[in-house]
């Protein structure tokens, strides 16, 4: 885990606020709070590169969702991609995104928020490159115009059938 105590506290605040705002049906179906993950449990669960479904919005306000790898670092999701990718172009003009990670019916993590683009001049870029290389033996910088999309979570819902 690379999260600081400040990262964990921030993440826990988002989780708590999200659970408080959840509707009745979501609370029942996700069995909140008994089957909700804490910030520490969430960070432990998301080590390595995870395949997530990332949704962006087109110029015509149409949703687009596709699987992609993601890193979880310091309490945020980071999506390695290239500046010329459609999802990056969507985010440049319409930063609203949703992200979902799940494993069968055992675990679900749903994130709603906004994305920002991190270019190679960002202070965290090289750390993200090192993490990506350690987990998957690739670097976005080898793809040409490699970037990361940082997902700023405004809402996070979690469900763990067998809570750790």
**For the whole model, what pTM was predicted?**
0.94
Which CATH number does 5-160 carry? 2.30.110.10
Residue 24 has pLDDT above 80, yes or no: yes
**pLDDT for the residue 164:** 56
Residue 114 has pLDDT above 70, yes or no: yes
Smallest Cα–Cα separation from 122: which of 103, 95, 96, 140? 140
Residue 5 has pLDDT above 60, yes or no: yes
For the chain, domain boundaries? 5-160
Residue that has been written with the tokens 């202070």 in this structure: 123
């Amino acid at each position: 885990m690379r999260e600081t105590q400040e990262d964990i506290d921030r993440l826990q605040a988002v989780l708590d606020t999200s659970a408080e705002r959840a509707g009745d049906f979501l609370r029942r179906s996700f069995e909140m709070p008994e089957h909700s993950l804490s910030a520490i449990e969430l960070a432990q669960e998301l080590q390595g590169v995870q395949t997530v479904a990332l949704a962006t919005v087109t110029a015509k306000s149409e949703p687009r969702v596709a699987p992609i790898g993601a890193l979880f670092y310091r309490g945020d999701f980071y999506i390695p991609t290239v500046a010329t990718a459609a999802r990056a172009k969507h985010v440049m003009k319409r930063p609203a995104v949703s992200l979902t990670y799940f494993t069968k019916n055992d675990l679900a993590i749903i994130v709603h928020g906004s994305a920002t683009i991190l270019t190679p001049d960002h202070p965290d870029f090289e750390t993200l490159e090192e993490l990506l290389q350690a987990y998957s033996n690739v670097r976005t910088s080898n793809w040409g115009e490699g970037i990361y999309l940082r997902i700023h979570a405004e809402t996070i819902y979690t469900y763990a059938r067998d809570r750790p």
